[in-house]
Amino acid sequence: MAGVMAGPIVVGILRERHPDHIVLSNGTEIFLLDGVSADHIAIGRSFTAHCTVQDGKTLANAIQLNPDWLLDALASVTFSA
């Protein structure tokens, strides 16, 4: 298929979520292929997207959460003044 590049993996932090695309903290837009959803990713969470590039557009084939061990650990600790 002309204009298609397979294989890029994008790691980023979710800044915005829209029905047809997501935006990373650095402003990069990734469009969601049919059947791919980012609903399970909270704003500010780190994720990995397995993508293809077609006609200059980055298209997500699959999205998964990255473990944010440090952030999770800090969130579970209560600091007393």
pLDDT per position as a tens digit, 62-71: 999 988 775 5
Kind and range of the H or E element at 70? helix 69-75
**In which domain, by residue range, is 47 found?**
4-75
CB 47 within 8 A of CB 11: yes
65 part of a folded domain: yes
81 part of a folded domain: no
pLDDT at residue 66, as a whole number: 87
Number of structural domains the chain divides into: 1
> Mean pLDDT over residues 48-59, rounded?
93
> Mean pLDDT over residues 29-56, rounded?
94
22 part of a folded domain: yes
Q: Which positions ≥6 away from 9 have C-beta within 8 Å?
A: 48, 49, 50, 51
Is pTM beyond 0.85? Reply is: no
39 part of a folded domain: yes
Task: State the Cα angle at 30 between 53 and 16, rounded to 5°.
Answer: 175
Unique residue bearing structure tokens 């600790």: 77
55 part of a folded domain: yes
